[in-house]
Every structure is written in C-alpha cells, then in structure tokens.
Structure 1
Amino acid sequence: MQKILYICALFAMMHGALSAQTVSGSWYGHADVDMAGVHNNYLTELVIKQKGNRVEGIFGYYFRDKYQSFFIHGRFNPKTREITILNIPVIFYASTSTLYSVDCNTNFKGVLIHSRAGSTVKGALYADAKYRYTCPNIKVNYVLDKADNQTDSTIQVSLANARIWKPQPDDLVVDAITAAPTAQPATTSLPAPVEAKPTADTAQASAPVAVAPPPVDPVKEENKKIEESFTKRKPVVNRVLEVESDSLRLSFYDNGEIDGDSISVFVNKNITLTHQGLSARAFNLFLKLDSTKDINEISMFAENLGRIPPNTALMVLTDGKNRYEVFMSSSLSENATIQVKRKKPKSSLAATQQQK
C-alpha cells in the first residue's frame, strides 16, 4: 500500500513539475549575429501566452532606428522545455537603411531555463534553408520580466525605451485634437482646379462661357461613405485604459488566420486611417491625446469581414511605460472601441486629497 502511495505521489510531483514549466510572460533581451567579426545586434522582446503546448503573442525587435513587431504562433514542449516559433522575418544585419532593407526569414528555437537567479530563454533565430548562405544565425538571450504578471509590459532596456517614440516615414503620426495625420495622411486630395483667366477674345464674346464643375475627389467621396457608415454602427467599448503618457503607440495585427481583413481607424469619431489590411506584421499609429478631453476614443471600423467573419484584430497600446493588449472585433453593425484617459500625476492626487 505504501509503495502504491509513493508511486502516486511521485507521479503527482512529476505532473506538477511539468505543469509549472510555462513560458507565459514578457521576455526581453538582445540578439547577436553569429558570425565572426560581426557585432551587429538587435534589442528584442517576446510577449507570449501559453495554451497547452501552443504559444501565441508578439515578437518585436529594434534594429538601428526601426521597431518591427509580428503576431506569432508556436509550440512549447514541457518535457524538453523547448519553444519553437516559425516564420519570423528579421531585417538583414548588413542593411544600411531600415527603410529600404530586406528581410531574412528565420525560425526561432530556444530552451527555457529556470534558476534561482531568474528565468531565461536561450536559443537562436535560424535562417531558412533558402537563405542559409546569405543570412547568418542570430543568437538570442531572453530574461523574464519578473515585475510583469499579466504580460503587459514593454522592453526594460533603457536604449529600447529611448527609441520607442521615434516613428518612421511609413508610420502614421496623429494629433487627436484634430485627428489629422502629420505624416503619411490617410487621405490625399486632387489638385484644386485652376480658374481660367479671361483673355481679350473671351472678353469681347457676348455669350457667357460655361465653367466646368470642379472634378470630384474620389478619395474624399470614399471617406465620406465610410464616415456615414461609421455613424450608423453601434459603438461597443471593449476596454477603458488609464495611461501614463499623452503620447501613445498603437500597433494593429490580425490575431487569427490572415483572411483579408481591412479596417479604418477613427480617433474621437474622426477618420484617421483607411483601407488598412491586417496581417501578422503590425502597422503603427503614433497618437498624441487631446488633453482637453477627459476620455479619448479609438475605434476600429470594419471595411469588410474577410473570409472568416467577424473582422478581428489585436491592438497593442504602449504609453512608454506600460503595454496593453486589446482584442477587438468589429462587424457591419458594430464598431470596436476603446476609451483612453490620462492618469493624474501623483502630486495632483495628493494635493486634491489634502484639499478635501
């Protein structure tokens, strides 16, 4: 009887040990090119959640002055503690410009290590077979952010934090006061028609000259239709967030199968970005909040439902200190919306309490 109890206890301990091997969390670190004489490196983060033997989340990295991020899927083997993530594009290490760079397709394989000093994931980004002669492997060393229990943090490396607010020409910068982009505008207008000046011949003509109507701007007409549809749909508030800063970075991904979802983004009910397809690669929007409003609203308008309804996206909001993941789902009758309000400084809160 005692032997049976001992065996049962042993199996329970083994099961507990296996179930404790989880890779869920926010991991940050550096990646170094595995090539003699090359010292190029990347600052990188891996924010993942484990569901059984599967993992999903965000892989992001900084290279030179560019931040790239992707929605990823992978597998985790609790027995060997190995994590595998396929198809991660990484900018070629020798690229002199990130704007006109090329990507190396890589697969990540790493091993989870627990110790008294902390938890780490060590591994490498291995070049795809097609690129093995041009793209070297990249060694990666991640450290778990112990302060993050809900995978809502940003990279803790100071250099990365310093670069996080530097948008690139292919990113959209928006001021919520007007919701008008200051770079890469969502709409482009046709040149204004030039009014014809009268000549001597036309001045002498007795019959009035017919003036052609100004040309129709197809972009404005399209945006007008989107705005009308937006107002007819019901706003559904997914989440209310309190943020530390008045400048935010919003990253949008397709969080499921890439099925052709296309969206427009509204800020405070003003159209900001249109005809944006969702994919595993994020598109970024840098937003300065309207300080005259207690609450700023960010809405996702579904332009279509893709092949698999509804239109779903993962929006990652970063305020320079905290990181929030919001799953948004829009249909042809509802607009997914989040409300954002700025946290009051502690000094202001203390002063208010003293006055009371």
Structure 2
Amino acid sequence: MRSVIVVFLLGLIHGVAAQDITGIWRGHFSDNNRMNQILNIDDRYRFEVQIAQTDKKLQAITYSYKNIEFYAKASATGSINPKTGKVRVLELKIIEVRKGMNTMVCSMDCMLTWTKSGDDEFLEGTFVATNTLDSSFCGRGTVFLRKEAVSDFYKEPFVARKEKEIAKKLAAANTVPKPVDSLKIAPAPVAKTKPAPVAKTTPKPPANTTPKKPAPKSSAPVAKTAPQKKPETKLTPQQIEPLARPDTPKKTITVSPGKSFSASIPSVIKNRENEITKTITVKSNEVALYIYDNGTIDHDTVSVYLDNKLVVSRKMLSLEPIIVKIKLDTTNNYHEVVMVAENLGDIPPNTSLMVVKAGDQQYEVRITSTEQKNAVVVFKYAGD
C-alpha cells in the first residue's frame, strides 16, 4: 500500500510538471524566403507566445515584432498531445498592429513539438501564414521558442492565474501522507501522573536597594516602512532593439580549413567530452555560419574551433551574429566545428543558435555546451 501511494504521487508530480506548457515562450520565427537567403538578409522576427493549458486545450496570446517596422499582438487557441508532445498554436484575431505601408498582416498556424534538455524546455516546428484580409497564402517557415521566466511585455492575467493553480497542485502533490500499517496493534496507553506542584517563592530584593521602576512605555505608534519594490522594466514596441542583419562586416571571420586536422589538439577539446550535435552535408564549397545567443542575452561567451584550429576566441553571444565563413574543397570533405563554452553566462548552460547557409541550403542548429562538454557540428562536402 505504501509503494502504491508513493508511485501515484510521483506520477502526479511528473504529470503536472512535464505535461503542462503553461508559461511564457520566447524566440523567433523565420520566413523561408528564397530571395532573402540569396541576399543574406536576416528574415527572423522575434516571437513570444504566452500559454495557459487546461487539459489538452490551450489559450494563448502571441507577440510578433521586428525593430520598428512591424509589431502585432494576437489572440490564439491551440491544443497539445501529451503522449507525443505535439503542440498546435493557431492565431485567431489580431488585437494590436503597427506596420509599414507595404506590409501584409498575416495570421499564423504553428505546428510545434515540445522537447526538454536539462532544465530548458523548447517548442520547435513550422508555421503556415494566411492574409487576414482575404485568407490568401502569406508564406511558411520555422519557429523556435524557449520557455522563459519573464515576458518582453507583461504577463497576461490568464497565464498568471493558471500558474498559481499549478503551484497549488504541486504543493498538494508534494505533501505525501504517512502510510498506516493496519497489521500493527497500537500499544495500550500509559497512564500519566501529574507531577506535584512546586511552591513558587518570590525573590526578595537585596538589602538597602530600591527596585528599579520600569521605563514608561511610549504609546506613540512606531512607523513601519514597507520595502520598496523595484519596478519591472517592460519593453514597448518603440523600445524593441533591432535584429542584426547577418551581413554585418565587423564580426565576419573567413577561414579555410586546409587539407587535414591540426596535429595538436587544444586542451579544451582534449579534456572535455565532445558531443556531435548535428551532421550536415553541403553541396556548396562556401559555408557561412551565423552564431547568435539562443534566447535571453545572458553574457554567454564561446570560442569556435575548425578542425582543431581556433577561429573565434572568447566572443560574447548576442543578437548580433558572430559570422564565420568557411571555404571547403574536395581534398578533404569532412570538417568539424567545435563550440567551446568559455563561461555559462548568467543562466546556465551556454546556449547558442547556429544558422548555416551554404548555397541554397539553410539549417538552424540549437547548441548547448557546458564546461564539461563541447558541442560539435560536422560538415561533409559533397560537391556541386
């Protein structure tokens, strides 16, 4: 009986924590526009989704924004399949919008997948957009979101209410009742005897001394000062900082991997675990890597090695990409890019987003590295 109770409660705790995606999700979406890829234009829009989950249904608000050229807030609905982790978020109505003269307003239908890596939770997938005026096709692309503690705007009341409900459920689930063993017979109660009262004696003051009178108590109330809360600074659409374009020249690093790996292996690669995050086969001999901070800017610093050669040394990740351009050849068609965490930033672990562009191919690689483990991206050149 005891084990049944414990297993049930552990299942309840796991179900509440793992299957509920209530909260704030921030990241970006990218429109798979072929012309933007050719011109190396960063087509990423920042994207925030606030979700309250009830059973399998979702209530949501979305924010889409990019510098001062576009901002929109929309109400949304959705659903989740707890068994598969598949999530749908469908925008219903545009609540607020600010746009340029030639900019369309489109609603998005997002098909996402929930995953977890350590303490981080992610929603990744694709979207299809339709024009809000005539329901014509607007485009399609990819979505990447990470669960965050705070909003770039403010937390919606329906999300705050739902989070309080979840906190109460977790508190109740963590209160494990003591099991009762019905086979044991309680011992007979032992009669308690009251101890004999002890005579109290009032101490006499010492000779030739006058007892001191207590100081009179002041009847004036003591003013209490409540601790001042530091106001939260929230972004308005006018304060949103721009996304950097990937053709920013000042951080561009062009390297050629050469014909073979460096003979000497750096200690940060030799003494740490090296985990292959992704293997990419490219047809173009020119590959551009755009490396961003993946989510909140928290002072993550990285070094990048190409075939054991240092190409980026202790650069801080931000919304402005670190750009590494690689020229490949058919002499050696296998190359490794290693991301080394120089620190874990304000919010461990060290996380980054690598956008890979090679001719008409484009990939997004989410990278997590620690002070014990490096992330490796393998490139195989197949030729044109």
TM-score, normalization by structure 2: 0.43
Task: Tell which structure's C-alpha radius of gyration is larger.
Answer: 2
